[in-house]
Amino acid sequence: MSDFSYEQVQHLAKLACIALSDEEIEDLKKDLQGIVKSVALISDIDISGVEPTTNPLVLPQHLREDVPGETLERDVLLEQAPECEDGMFVTPRILGDE
């Protein structure tokens, strides 16, 4: 796939939940085509004789023990909510009607 259609870019924008103008869609088409061409160039490189690389540094992981702390009572939290229903917070819808 080297050329993206207007409809394909529009579909990608819908999946990403972003609104794009016609001009932005045309710009994004060009950008996506450039990305695909770059990836194709990289994919064509013969790496059969190249050894895989790894990170030579061993970095320690500074993790703490997972200990549960105090929890708040559900009723106390719901009393402070601007709106609740059936013991749950009510929030504005952020994604379409799906």
Secondary structure (H, E, C), 2-50? CCCCHHHHHHHHHHCCCCCCHHHHHHHHHHHHHHHHHHHHHHCCCCCCC
pLDDT at 60: 86
Domain extents in the chain: 6-43
Tell me how far apart the alpha carbons of residues 13 and 32 are, in angstroms, rounded to a whole number.
12
Tell me how far apart the alpha carbons of residues 28 and 20 are, in angstroms, rounded to a whole number.
9
Considering the chain, what is the average pLDDT of its residues?
Answer: 90
The tens digit of pLDDT for each residue in 68-79 reads 999 989 999 999
Strand partners, 85: 88
What is the CB-side half-sphere exposure of residue 6 using CA atoms within 13 A?
Answer: 5
The tens digit of pLDDT for each residue in 18-53 reads 999 999 999 999 999 999 999 999 999 999 999 888
Residue 9, exposed/middle/buried by CB under 10 A (0-12, 13-18, 19+)?
Answer: buried
The architecture in CATH of the region 6-43 reads Orthogonal Bundle (1.10)
Give CA separation, 80 vs 5, 73, 91, 93, in Å.
Answer: 49, 11, 14, 20
